[in-house]
Structure 1
Amino acid sequence: MNTIIDYMKRNYKILLAVVCLSVTLFAFKMNSGNENDADPDKDKLLLELLTFVLEKGHYSPAVIDDAFSKGVYKDFIQALDPSKRFFLQSDIDEFAKYETDLDDQLINKDLTFFNLAYDRLMQRMEEGKLIYKSVLSKPFDYTIDESFNTDYEKAPYAKTSAELKDKWRKQIKLSTLSSLVDRMEMQDNKNKTGVDKSVKEPVVQVKEGEQFDQSYYDKTKNTAVETGKTKTFVELEKETRESSAKSLDEYFGFIKDLDRNDWFSVYINSITARFDPHTNYLAPEEKERFDVSISGKLEGIGARLQKKNDYTEISELISGGPAWRGKQLESGDLIMKVAQGDKEPVDVVGMRLDDVVKKIKGPKGTEVRLTVKKVDGTITVISIIRDIVEIEETYAKSSIVNKNGLKYGVIYLPKFYIDFENKDGRDAGKDIAIEVDRLKKAGVNGIVLDVRDDGGGSLSTVVDIAGLFIEDGPIVQIKSAGKNKEVLYDRDKKIEWDGPLVIMVNSFSASASEILAAAIQDYKRGIIIGSKQTYGKGTVQNVIDLNQFVRSSSVGDLGALKTTTQKFYRINGGSTQLEGVSSDIVMPDRYAYLKMGERDVENAMPWDKIDQADYKVWTKNSNFNQAITNSKNRIAQNQQFQLVEDNAKWIDSRSEENVYSLNIDKFKLAQTEIEGKAKKYKPILDYKNELKFTSLPSEQEIMAKDAALKEKRERWHEALSKDIYVEEALNVLDDLQAKGIVKKAIPVKFKKDKLAKS
C-alpha cells in the first residue's frame, strides 16, 4: 500500500544534495568476501546510512530515545518468533536488559543485541526441528480432554524445554486434528453418495486461529471409502501426521534458505517501522521485486518459480513471455542446472530460490540454458532467449455488459503502475485512457472504475486518470515538512469521458486509490460506492538507492530505503490519513468490523487538514443525489446485502474465539455448531447477478490466439457475474442516465424473480 511518485524526483535531488555533504562518512573501503557471510562493517555502514537519511529526509523523524528503543525491541522479538514457539522465557529475560539500550546501540553502530538474538534464534530453530520430528513420530491421542489457545500475542513464553515441546505438540495436534476431520468427512461423503463432495465444494484445511466453513464428519462413523478403498481411523491419522511433517519440512526448508543478511533486514525494518508503518528498508532482492511490482515488467524468461524441497520448480509460465512462447518449459518441471549461454552450467539443486532466480534472470537478448527434469522423468536442456516480460495481472483490463437495454463498461485497475526507467513504457494513466477510448467506441452508456484491493502506486498516474473525467483543475495537494503546499493539476481541458461514472472501493483501496476516489468525490464527478471507508493511507514515500552514497564497489549491493517524505491532501483540504475516503454509498462488507485499516496500525501518522484548493464542482449530473438515495434504498431492502451485514457481525464475534478443543468428539461438535451457523451464509458465495460480461473486440482477437489469457478473462467474467457489488454499481449507472436515455422495460415477472432472490 505504497504511493511511489516520479513527482518526487525534484525533492529527491534536494535530499541527495544534503546527504552528499556527508558522503565522506561512508566512503571507506569495505571488507570483501562471501555476501552471505557475516560482515559487521557492512552492517554498521548500513545502520549509519539509514539513520542519517531518515533523520534528514523523513517527513516527521522519530526521536531516538528509550521509548524508540522499546518499540524496536518489541517489533524485532515479535518478528523473530510471532507464535512464541522458539524462544524460552529465559531467552526473553536475557534479551530484556537491552530493551532500552537499542537507541544507544543504533547511534554507536553496536550489533550486540542483534547478534545475540540472531544466534539464539538459530539455536532454538535447530531444537525446533528435533521437537516437531519427535512429536510427529507417534500417533496423537485425540481422546484426551485438552485444548490449545491460538492467541499468541497474549500467550506466555514457555519457561522450560518440556513446556515448549508441549506447546509444539498441541499446536501440531490442532493442525492434524482439523486435517483428520476433513479426511474423515470426505470419505464419509463418498461412502454415503459414491461422490466426493469435496469435488463440488473444496475442503479448506484450517490453520491455527482460522474458522471453519464446512460440514464435518458424523461421529458415529469411523471408516469411509476413498479412491475405492476403505481406510481405518489409524490409517487416516497416520496420513495427517505425514502431511503435517511434509509441511513443516517445507517450512524449515524455507527458513534454511534465509541467511544472516535476511534476518538483519528484519532488524533494520524493526527500526524503520518506528518512524511510520510505510518506511521500510528494501534489501537488494526485495528492491528488485518492488521495481517489478510497480512497473509490471521484468527482463527474464517469464516463469514463476517455487521451492520444492531442494529443487526449484516451475509453478507457472507467464503468458506472452519467452518461456511460454518457446513451448518447451512446462509447469512442474524441475530446474537442475543453469548456464549463461555456452558457459559451463551451474548446479542449482539445494541453492536458495533467490539465488536461482538471479541466475535465470538477465538482460533482454541474452541466452540462458536450463537443464530440467521434465514431469515425465526425462532430463533435457532448454535454451531460452531472455526478453521483456509483462506481468498481465498488473495491468488494467475492461469488460462490457448489457443491462436493461444499455451497455456499460467495467474497468479494473489492480495498481497504479508506471515504468520509471522508460517514459514510453506502460503506465496506468495511458492504459486507462486507452480502455476508456475503447469503451466509448463500443458505445457504452456508463463506466464503472473498480479500484477495490488496489494498494496504490504512482501519483502521476492518478493525476492522469482523474484528468480523463474532468475538464481541468487540481487533483491532489502535497505538503513536505516545513514547506508550503504544492497542488498537482490536470491542465488538459479535454474530457475523455463525460458520462455517468462510478468508482468502486473497499477497505483495501489505499494511497493512490484514495487520491483518485477523493478527487472524483470532491468534484462530484462520479459516485463512490463500496466499504464504509478506504484504507486511510495519506502519506507519500520516496525510494532512495543507498548504493550511490558509497564510493567503493566492494561493499556489495546495499539495497534501498523507502521513506515517508510528504503527506497528500484532498482538494477540499482534508487528509485521507487514518480516515480514508468515506463512500457515498456504503455497501455491507463481510470484513467491515475487523481491524485492518491504517487507523489500526501502530505508529501511524496523524490526521490533519490544510486549506482547500480552488476547484469547481461538476454540474452535469442532474440526478446525482437521487441516484445515491435510490441505491441506499435498494441496499436497505436487499436480503442478500442484509445477509452480508449479518455475516460481518458474526465474523467479528468469531474473531475473539481462540481456544480449540483437542478432543476429537468435542472438536467435531464445536465445528458442527459453527457450520450450522455458517450454512446460513452460504447463499453469499452462491449468488449470481444474471449478467453476462464479455471482452472488447480488440481483446477477443488476442484471446483467440492466447489460451492462457482467454482462461484468465473467462475466470474474471465469471467472478463479475457473481459479484453483487458490481451489480449495484451498474444499478447506480442506470440511475445516473440522462432523461433522454431510454432504458428497456423489464417484464414484471422478472422483477418479482429478482426481488425474491435479493
Structure 2
Amino acid sequence: MNLKIKKLHYIIISFIFLFSFGLPTTNTNHNTNSKNREQEKHRIILKTIYKTLHFLHPNPISINNDFSQKVYNKYFEKLDNQKRFFLQKDIEYLSVYKNKIDDFWIDGDPTFFNIIIKRFYHRIKEVEWICYQILKIPFDFNKKETYFLGKEKLLYPKNKREWIEKWKKYLKYLTLLEIIDSIKQKKLNLSREKIWKKAFLNEENKSRKKVQESIKEYFRKLKMRKKSDWFSIYVNSIISEYDPHTNYLSPRDKEIFDLNISGQTEGIGVELQDDKGYATVRKLMVGGPAWKNKKIEIGDKIIRVAKNIDSESKNIVGMLLEHSIRLIKGKKGSQVKLTIQKKNGSIEEVILTRDVIENKETFAKSFLLIDNKNQNKYGFIYLPEFYFNPENKKGRNAAKDMKLIIQKLKKENIKGLIIDIRNNGGGSLDTAIEITGFFLGKVPIVQIGKSQKNKKILKNHDHKILWKGPLVILVNELSASASEILAAAIADYKRGIIVGSHQTYGKGTIQSVYPLNRFLFSNEELGALKLTTNKFYRVNGSSTQLKGVHSDIVIPNQINYIFLKFMEKNLPNSMNWDHVDPIPFHYWNTKKDLENIKYKSIKRMNKKNKDFIVIYQTIQSLEKKNYNEKKFYLNWRKFFYDSLKIKRRNKKFHKLKDYLNTYGLKVCSPSYKIIFNTNNIEETEWKKNLKKDFSVSECVNILRDFNENS
C-alpha cells in the first residue's frame, strides 16, 4: 500500500543526504570499469536499504550472528532449494561466512554475494554437462528406485557420484512424466498392466529427447539471467528477516509492481511467451496497437526490435523474455519497429505507435441480480484490488470506478448491494478509505501508527454517502490489507453483513515505496524499497494483523490448501498482533434489525452446515495429501499402481468439489437471474461460474431478508 507521509520523506532525505556524500555516485567516474561500477552500485543499494530499515522500520531486529546464519541458510535455499547444484564441500567452504553476513550488511559489503554467486555459476556449467551426458543413455524403468521431491529429507551431495545420481533420478522422473503425458494424449486403455508396460517402454526414447530439449532451454534461461537478478534475491533474503512485506524491487520488478497496482502499462498490447528463445505472440489485447494494426497474429515471432524508428534494430532471439519486453515497451505516442517472423516463415517489418494498455481483469466490474420471488433488483460489484496509478494521481483508480458503478446501479433502483472482495490482496490505503466512505460518510475509518502514543486517525473527507441501503461484503482467506480495512469498518460500525471464510488473510501492516536513486542524486537505476512503515488498527482498537476480520456468516470457500499455507499467520517473520485504545464511534443508524438478519442466515445455514463442514474438510484433506506427496517411484510397475491410486483419489476429489457446489446451491437456494451486458468472452465465463457460486446465493438471501424486514 502507498501512504504519503511528508514527515517520513523528510527523515529519509535527511539521513541519506548526510551519508551519501561519502558514496561516489555511479555516473561520475568515467574511468571505472563495468565490474567496479556494478560493485559500487550493489554497495550503495545495500547501505541505503540498511540505513532506511535501521531508522524507519517499525519492528527493529538484532543484527547479530543469529541473523547472519538465518540469511546464510535462506539464500542457499533460494538459489538451490532442491540441493541439486551445490555440493557438501561448497557448503563447508562457504561456511566461513556464516557469521559475517551481519557485518557485511551493516557495511554495505557485497563480498558474500560475489563469492557465492561465482561458485553457483561454476556449478551451473558443470551440471549442464552432467545432464547432457545422462540423457544420452536410455533409462531403465525396471530398477526399483525412488525420487524425493520435498525439501525435508534432501541433503547436499557428498561427492560427484552422488551428484550425478541425484540428477539422474531427477531427469528420469521428468522423462517419466513425459511418458505419462504422451500415453494420456493417445487415450490408450491402460487398465491392464501388460498394455501399460508396452506403452510405457515404447515411449521412453521420444520422451527422453523431449526432456533433453526442455533441459537445454532451462539452462539457456538460467545462464541468461543477469547478476542483478541474483543480487535482488540476495537482498530480499536479508530484508525478509524484518517482515514478509518489506522487499527490494529491482528496476524491472518496480515496473511489474506498478503495472499490477495500476492495471495499466504503456506498450503495443501483446502478451508474449518464450518459445525456445523466440518472443512469440500468445495473445493480442483487444483495442491495442498490435490488434488495430492487423499485421500481427498469435503465433508470430518477434526477432528484432528497434526501440524507436531512428535507432538500430536489435536481435532479440535467445534474449530473456523480460528483457525483450522492456525493449518493446515505451511511452505512449512513441514508435517501435518490429521485425516479425510469420507462422509461414516469411519476414515482415511492422511499425507501431505505443499506447496505454489496460489489464481489464484488474478493474471493478458489476451486474444486476433480479430476485424472481419479488422482482427486487440487487447490485453486485466485484473489486479485484484497490488499484491506483502511482505515477499519475489523476489517473484511473478503484474509487473513481466504484463511484460511477454505484451511481449507475442506483439508477436501476436496486434494493441492496453486494461487494465481492474475495481474492483482493489490497492496494492503495487512500483508495480503500475513500471507498469505505461511500457507505459510512465522513467518519474515522482506520487508525495507523507504530504504537498507542503516535497513532493517527484517518477519516474519509467526503460527508456524502453514496449508498445507504442494505450492504453485504463477500470475503475469503485471500482478502487482505486494504480489503480488511473496508470489511473491518463495515463490521465495526454495524453498517452491513460480512459473509465468507472464518477469517480474512490477516495483513495489518502498511507499506510505502521509495525509489532509491531519488535520494542519491544519481541517474543510475537502483530500483526501489517497499518498506513497512506502520500498522493499522480498527476503530475498535484491534489490529487485523494475523487475526484478520471474522465473517458474520461463515460459508466454506473453495480455496486451495496451498494458498492457505501462505496466509499472514503462516509466514515467517510476520509482525505480532496487538491493539490500541478504541476511538469514539457510533453504530450505523438503521431501522433494520441487523442481528435478526444475521440470525436468519445462520439458522438457514445451520440446517446443513455440519455436512458443509465435513465435505469442505474432506476436500482440504485430499488437497493436503496431494500437495504433500513427496515420494515417487521410478519403477514402471510401482508407478502403474501408484497412478491408479492417485487417479481414484483425484476422481473422489473432483466429485466432492462438484457435490459441494450442488449441495451449497440447494442450501442457499434463491431463484434469481443475472443481467450482465457484455460481449467479452472472459466475462461471460465469469458469469457462468457465478451462477454456481453458493456464497452469492446466500448473499441474495440476506438482501431479501433485509427488504422483508424493512
Residues 1:8 and 2:26 are matched in the alignment? no
Given candidates 310, 314, 326, the residue that maps to 2:281 is 314
Residues 1:277 and 2:249 are matched in the alignment? no
SS at match of 1:454: coil
Contact (CA 8 Å) 2:147, 2:169: kept in 1 or not?
Answer: yes
Q: Quote the Cα distance in structure 2 between the aligned partners of 1:355 and 1:483.
A: 47
Contact (CA 8 Å) 2:619, 2:656: kept in 1 or not?
Answer: no
- Superposed CA deviations along residues 470-502 of structure 1, whole A, max 9, x for unmatched, are 233111111046952111112423221222222
Residues 1:359 and 2:327 are matched in the alignment? yes
Residues 1:629 and 2:596 are matched in the alignment? no
Partner of 2:309: 341
How far is the alpha carbon of 1:296 from its aligned partner?
Answer: 1.4
Change (3 A) 1:135 1:589: farther
- Superposed CA deviations along residues 640-689 of structure 1, whole A, max 9, x for unmatched, are 66423321133335544422222222223223223323323323554465
Given candidates 384, 398, 402, the residue that maps to 2:370 is 402
Aligned length, in residue pairs: 692
Contact (CA 8 Å) 2:484, 2:548: kept in 1 or not?
Answer: yes
How far is the alpha carbon of 1:232 from its aligned partner?
Answer: 4.5
Change (3 A) 1:219 1:694: farther
How far is the alpha carbon of 1:716 from its aligned partner?
Answer: 1.2
Alignment of 1:446-485 (within 5 A): 446-480=416-450, 484-485=454-455
Contact (CA 8 Å) 1:395, 1:414: kept in 2 or not?
Answer: yes
Alignment of 1:81-92 (within 5 A): 81-92=80-91
Partner of 2:532: 564
How far is the alpha carbon of 1:260 from its aligned partner?
Answer: 0.9
How far is the alpha carbon of 1:616 from its aligned partner?
Answer: 1.4
Change (3 A) 1:77 1:628: same
Contact (CA 8 Å) 2:365, 2:382: kept in 1 or not?
Answer: yes
Given candidates 17, 20, 40, the residue that maps to 2:17 is 20
Contact (CA 8 Å) 1:187, 1:223: kept in 2 or not?
Answer: no
Residues 1:734 and 2:707 are matched in the alignment? no
Change (3 A) 1:532 1:253: farther
Structure 1 letter corresponding to 2:241: R
Q: Quote the Cα distance in structure 1 between the aligned partners of 2:143 and 2:390.
A: 60
Residues 1:119 and 2:118 are matched in the alignment? yes
Q: Which runs of 5+ in 1 are unaligned?
A: 192-216, 225-230, 704-709, 741-758
Identity %: 40
SS at match of 1:714: helix
Partner of 2:257: 290
- Superposed CA deviations along residues 339-372 of structure 1, whole A, max 9, x for unmatched, are 2124332222222323322221112111111111
Change (3 A) 1:732 1:670: farther
How far is the alpha carbon of 1:35 from its aligned partner?
Answer: 6.7
Change (3 A) 1:143 1:315: same
Residues 1:388 and 2:353 are matched in the alignment? no
How far is the alpha carbon of 1:113 from its aligned partner?
Answer: 1.8
How much is the aligned-residue C-alpha RMSD, in angstroms? 2.5
Contact (CA 8 Å) 1:8, 1:542: kept in 2 or not?
Answer: no
Structure 2 letter corresponding to 1:348: I
Contact (CA 8 Å) 2:452, 2:581: kept in 1 or not?
Answer: no
Contact (CA 8 Å) 1:336, 1:349: kept in 2 or not?
Answer: yes
Contact (CA 8 Å) 1:27, 1:549: kept in 2 or not?
Answer: no
Contact (CA 8 Å) 1:398, 1:435: kept in 2 or not?
Answer: yes
Q: Quote the Cα distance in structure 1 between the aligned partners of 2:379 and 2:216.
A: 48
Change (3 A) 1:482 1:505: closer
How far is the alpha carbon of 1:425 from its aligned partner?
Answer: 1.0
Q: Quote the Cα distance in structure 1 between the aligned partners of 2:654 and 2:627.
A: 19
Change (3 A) 1:713 1:654: closer
Structure 1 letter corresponding to 2:141: Y
How far is the alpha carbon of 1:295 from its aligned partner?
Answer: 1.4
Given candidates 624, 646, 665, the residue that maps to 1:652 is 624
Structure 2 letter corresponding to 1:161: K
Contact (CA 8 Å) 1:418, 1:427: kept in 2 or not?
Answer: yes
Question: What TM-score comes out, normalization by structure 1 length?
Answer: 0.86
Residues 1:666 and 2:638 are matched in the alignment? yes
Q: Quote the Cα distance in structure 1 between the aligned partners of 2:168 and 2:182.
A: 21
Contact (CA 8 Å) 2:601, 2:702: kept in 1 or not?
Answer: yes
Partner of 2:133: 134
Change (3 A) 1:328 1:108: same
Structure 1 letter corresponding to 2:535: K
Q: Quote the Cα distance in structure 2 between the aligned partners of 1:127 and 1:693.
A: 60
Partner of 2:67: 68
Given candidates 452, 465, 477, the residue that maps to 1:507 is 477
Q: Quote the Cα distance in structure 2 between the aligned partners of 1:643 and 1:337.
A: 54
Which deviates more from structure 2 when the two are superposed, residues 395-404 or residues 502-511? 395-404
How far is the alpha carbon of 1:422 from its aligned partner?
Answer: 2.2
Q: Quote the Cα distance in structure 2 between the aligned partners of 1:654 and 1:356.
A: 37
Structure 1 letter corresponding to 2:217: E
Q: Quote the Cα distance in structure 2 between the aligned partners of 1:425 and 1:121.
A: 44
- Superposed CA deviations along residues 156-198 of structure 1, whole A, max 9, x for unmatched, are 1111122122222222323332442343344345x6xxxxxxx
Contact (CA 8 Å) 1:591, 1:651: kept in 2 or not?
Answer: no
Q: Quote the Cα distance in structure 1 between the aligned partners of 2:696 and 2:171.
A: 41
Alignment of 1:567-582 (within 5 A): 567-582=535-550
How far is the alpha carbon of 1:254 from its aligned partner?
Answer: 2.3
Partner of 1:546: 516
How far is the alpha carbon of 1:453 from its aligned partner?
Answer: 1.3
SS at match of 1:567: strand
Given candidates 556, 574, 577, the residue that maps to 1:588 is 556
- Superposed CA deviations along residues 690-721 of structure 1, whole A, max 9, x for unmatched, are 8653424xxx4xx4xxxxxx112112112212
SS at match of 2:302: strand
SS at match of 2:97: coil
Contact (CA 8 Å) 2:17, 2:520: kept in 1 or not?
Answer: no
How far is the alpha carbon of 1:590 from its aligned partner?
Answer: 4.6
Q: Quote the Cα distance in structure 1 between the aligned partners of 2:360 and 2:535.
A: 31
Contact (CA 8 Å) 2:428, 2:482: kept in 1 or not?
Answer: yes
Structure 1 letter corresponding to 2:460: D
Structure 2 letter corresponding to 1:507: E
Partner of 2:586: 616
Q: Quote the Cα distance in structure 1 between the aligned partners of 2:473 and 2:603.
A: 19
Alignment of 1:591-606 (within 5 A): 591=559, 594-606=564-576
Question: What TM-score comes out, normalization by structure 2 length?
Answer: 0.92
Structure 1 letter corresponding to 2:192: K
Change (3 A) 1:372 1:34: farther
SS at match of 1:312: strand
Alignment of 1:120-199 (within 5 A): 120-189=119-188
Partner of 2:52: 53
Change (3 A) 1:249 1:722: farther
Q: Quote the Cα distance in structure 2 between the aligned partners of 1:292 and 1:36.
A: 31
Partner of 1:693: 674
How far is the alpha carbon of 1:381 from its aligned partner?
Answer: 0.9
Which deviates more from structure 2 when the two are superposed, residues 342-351 or residues 257-266? 342-351
How far is the alpha carbon of 1:505 from its aligned partner?
Answer: 1.5
Partner of 1:301: 268
Given candidates 214, 219, 225, the residue that maps to 2:192 is 219
Q: Quote the Cα distance in structure 1 between the aligned partners of 2:178 and 2:320.
A: 30
Alignment of 1:362-377 (within 5 A): 362-377=330-345
Contact (CA 8 Å) 1:142, 1:662: kept in 2 or not?
Answer: yes
Contact (CA 8 Å) 1:585, 1:632: kept in 2 or not?
Answer: yes
Contact (CA 8 Å) 1:417, 1:428: kept in 2 or not?
Answer: yes
Q: Which runs of 5+ in 2 are unaligned?
A: 666-670
Q: Quote the Cα distance in structure 2 between the aligned partners of 1:291 and 1:123.
A: 35
Structure 1 letter corresponding to 2:640: K
Partner of 2:462: 492
Which deviates more from structure 2 when the two are superposed, residues 667-676 or residues 528-537? 667-676
Residues 1:677 and 2:674 are matched in the alignment? no
